[in-house]
Amino acid sequence: METMMMKNRTLRAAVFAASCLTLWPLMFAEAMAQYQNSPSASAPEITENPVKKALKEGKVVVGATVTAANPDVAATLAGAGFDFLWIEMEHSPLTLESVRSMILATRGLKAMPFTRVPVNELWTAKRALDIGSLGVIFPFTSTRELAEQAVKACKYPPQGLRGFGAALAASRWGMSGSDYAKFANENVLVVVIIEQKQAIDNIEQIASVPGVDVMFIGVNDLSFSLGVGGKTTDPIVEEAVSKVLAAGKKHNIPVGYPAGNPAEINKRIAQGFRFFQASSDLGMMAAGARDVLSKIQRDEVGAPKSNPK
């Protein structure tokens, strides 16, 4: 009996060792795939960021805000006609895994995936970019140093400090790792958010940083920083907004604004804004539901008549 048990253990050990020898080369090959030159066969290929191109041409771009961790929601909005998705990781429970799934779901669709990271740090930008984001939105960028850090976080050396681990990003964009590095340095959109009084005081220095593609006004936080919390059209806020627009015009940097409805977007276009964060997925779903329900004429249906006995 003991001899039989020893033979079984020996057999299991041999099977395990053979499995390891079989799987190890596969695991090693997968780990090294990011350094190979074989582009994905299924991912659509693009040669430039259409949003960045449109902004350089002076056009207006509009993005939908994504807060729900659902690839179908992201894909639906990406195919609805928006120029980009504002994937919200600062004010939502989205995880890197859910954002990766959403970014993959947008392949072949119009909207480019941009991600607002929780904080302006090299590592937060790197993680968003390495899962396929084609733009990073940096909150609370209130100094020249933070604006420079945002640019460096989005570019590989020698232009920046982004570390190379491009397997997932390269597969999303249908190219090899080496091709992706060049593509990313030229096409990743760098958006810095101006949302503190300190940023207004430093707006000239921020606007003069090479590589900043958009200055976006976080008008809600800005109103609080200026002492009029929530009053986004207060004269002191509008004065600060005008300063950002003037700096953007002087340094040829598009300026962005959050606007939840077409009337507000059109008003801000007339002011000179060209990059818009539109309403969120949940906001648009609720608005659509209210619109449908408001048009149903159920009050005109009379109460059922009782059957005579």
Beta-sheet pairing, 84-88 with 275-280: unpaired
Tokens linked to 103: 């970014």
Which 3 state secondary structure label does DSSP give 214?
strand
Using omega within 30 degrees of 0 as the cis cutoff, is the peptide bond preceding 158 cis? yes
Residue type, position 94, single letter? L
Rounded to 10 deg, the angle between the 96-105 and 122-130 helix axes is 40
128 contacts 89 by C-beta, under 8 angstroms: yes
- Residue 289's alpha-carbon distances to 73, 178, 283, in angstroms, are 16, 47, 10
> What string of H, E and C letters represents the secondary structure of 111-173?
CEEEEECCCCCHHHHHHHHHCCCCEEEECCCCCHHHHHHHHHHCCCCCCCCCCCCCHHHHHHH
Q: Please work out, in degrees rounded to the nearest 5, the angle formed at the alpha carbon of residue 131 by the alpha carbons of 125 and 134.
A: 65
91 is catalytic: yes
Query: The tokens of 130 are what?
Result: 């390495």
The one catalytic residue among 91, 231, 250, 290: 91
Q: What are phi and psi for residue 191, nearest 5 degrees? A: -115, 125
List residues with catalytic annotation.
91
